[in-house]
Structures are given as structure tokens and as C-alpha cells.
Amino acid sequence: MSEKYVIVTMASIAQENRTEIMKNLPALVDVSRAAGSSRAGMGIMLTGSMPGAALMFQMVNELNKMENIYSAFSSSEIYKNLLAAGVSVAKRNIASIQLSHTFSDQPDLKYTVMTRGSSSANPEKVMSLVDEAGELFKENGAQTMRFGRIMTGDNAGEYLLGISYESLSQVEATYDAIAKSPLAAKIYDVLDVNARSVTQLLAVK
């Protein structure tokens, strides 16, 4: 698996320049990929702690790529212009990716659902149960699935699950299925969900 870590960044957007900022945000995905990320995506949070904020994820196979990426950002005119227009980074964390599934040969990623949770259970048990749940996500339209543990920030040690979809109807179908699933009940027995957000993706490469 080439994706060992994911860097998740949330940033507020100045309302007076929102149209301009929204138009230019996807260009950061190209900067990230050119600097060494194996996959990068940019979107706008629809729900969660910062609705309306920008959310960027960047996947790398080794953490020293992070230095390359942010060096590229600091010299990028696009990045400088976004900061000047009123983009302000609010939070950035790194998670290790311990479980990875791609359910489609040609995934068309339009939305991503990120769920954060804590657990005192054996990590191998948590990982096994979530891995088993992959089939449930796949059956209801999930395109990709990543699961791991947050390494930095206030939520270090907690688990992070990211599932991407083509449509919100697939998100709805998934959580309808979860409500009826005995396996999901087992997961909730060992994993306390602390936060969940839906992000509409503007660009993924």
C-alpha cells in the first residue's frame, strides 16, 4: 500500500472573497501532487464542526514528503493568493492509514464522510470489525475506504474513518444499512463516535 499517512487540513474562508477562493482552491491539489503526494483532494465541509470551511486531504507514503509539499505551498503563488484572500488554516492533523480499500476500478469521488472515534478496546479487534464492515460500505455505494489512527493534535490516538461516495443518496443508503446492521452494533460497542462530517469534493487526483 503506497498510502501510509493522510494529512487532513481544515481552513476557514473569508465570506467577502468566497467566490474567488472557491474557484482557486482546487489548484492546490495539483501543487500537492507535483510535490509528492500519492493522492490529494479538496472540498467544502457541509456538516461538522466547521460547515462551509475548506477541507484538504493529502496522502503520502512517507512523512518526509510532507516537508516537500509545504515547501511547495510556501513558494506557490496560488497558495499565497489564497491566504491573502482570506483562507486561514484552523486545524491540521496527521493519521496513519492502517486499512485501505478501493471498491471501484474508476472511482468518481464527489463526497467524503469522515468519522472520528475513540476506543479502549484491543486495536486489532477494532481494526478487524471495521475491515469486516467494508463489505457493507461497498454494497451501499462506497468508492473508497481508509481507516487509521490520528497521530497529532488534540485527538491523537483516536481512530479516523474516511469513506468516499459518488452521491449523497449513497451516503443515506449506507447509514440506513448501518442502523439495521448487527455488525455495526458490534463496532459501536467498542468504538465511541465523537464526530462525523460530510464534505463535498471539488477536486481529487
The tens digit of pLDDT for each residue in 126-185 reads: 999 999 999 999 999 999 999 999 999 889 999 999 999 999 999 999 999 999 999 999
Tens-digit pLDDT profile for residues 11-58: 999 999 999 999 999 999 999 999 999 999 999 999 999 999 999 999
φ, ψ at 152 (rounded to 5°): -135, 165
> Residue 162: which of 18, 30, 56, 12 has the closest Cα?
56
Residue 106's pLDDT band, with cuts at 50, 70 and 90, is confident
Per-residue pLDDT, 77: 97
- The dihedral region occupied by 88, where left means phi > 0, alpha psi between -120 and 50, and beta the remainder, is beta
Per-residue pLDDT, 165: 97
At residue 1, does pLDDT exceed 80? no
Per-residue pLDDT, 107: 84
Give me the residue spans of the domains in the chain: 5-94, 96-204
In this structure, what C-alpha cell is assigned to residue 59? 496522502
Residue 63's pLDDT band, with cuts at 50, 70 and 90, is very high
Per-residue pLDDT, 101: 95
Per-residue pLDDT, 153: 87
Per-residue pLDDT, 154: 86
**Domain 96-204 grouped into CATH 3.30.70.100:** yes
> Residue 144: which of 124, 166, 177 has the closest Cα?
166
Higher pLDDT, 153 or 114: 114
Distance of alpha carbon 145 from alpha carbon 131, whole angstroms: 9
pTM of the predicted model as reported, rounded to 2 decimal places: 0.94
Fold of 5-94: Alpha-Beta Plaits (3.30.70)
Same fold: 5-94 with 96-204: yes
